[in-house]
Structure 1
Amino acid sequence: MCRKVIDSNGKWHMPLLKSIFKGTLRYASLNAILTHQCGPCDDMMGWIYSIIELTLSKLPWAKSAPRDMIQQKAAITGEELCAQMPPPFLQCYNYVKSLKPTEMPRHSFINECIKRCIPLNTRPNDPYDWEITNAT
């Protein structure tokens, strides 16, 4: 399910050229499902799918049969997948999609994209949607 990509000296370990798929089809990257070379970008793609589902309560392929799910993941564009997400999230998706398995993601760029998704007047101590506030 996971392996070290950087050793204790900070050197990169080349990911395996072929791997066995173990995981959940819903959140797995297409590379992982097709047992292609995987790297940190594939972990990030799984994270992106999770964020989309947490935000929208669904992924386009959530109720699809496994074969259909794979075809849908291969065919969907970033614009379609992120259509209901805040616009900066598409930049994050496109960036992760552009990475090669041997590239380390620039987490600072992803962090900036996520920050731009937060509404302007939001304060860190604002209550969450599900928290009860006392109107006085």
Structure 2
Amino acid sequence: MRIGEVAARTELSLRTIRHYEQAGLVTPSARSQGGFRLYTEADVQRLMVVRRMKALGFTLDQMRDLLDATDRLDGDTGLGPDERRALIERVREYERAATEQVDRLRAQLARAEDFAATLTTRLHHPPAVRS
């Protein structure tokens, strides 16, 4: 699929997708005869991982590191048991960091919802006017 379709499916801008390509996070699987970037479903899934990591505040280097670890685990070519365990532990560290960030975001959302409810209550039940 071409970059426009990928942008629509991932809800990322063309510019962002190109930026992630320049950063080494995703590479189009092919190019058309006209030079257009062509992406596979696997490329789209990779961009979705990046999008989700970005929303949780991970850096480009962290994204690159996680993608490297998962690529190596998925490829499974010539990994020794120690190297495999080390890669799995790297992925677990990202899982823990993601879970911690989700918990922080939930707490922040709860505070924001409480604040909005306070304002709503205030608007529907204004204080009595003093004379």
- TM bucket, shorter chain: 0.3 to 0.5
Whose RCO is larger (CA < 8 A, sep 6+)?
1
TM-score by length of 1: 0.32
TM-score by length of 2: 0.33
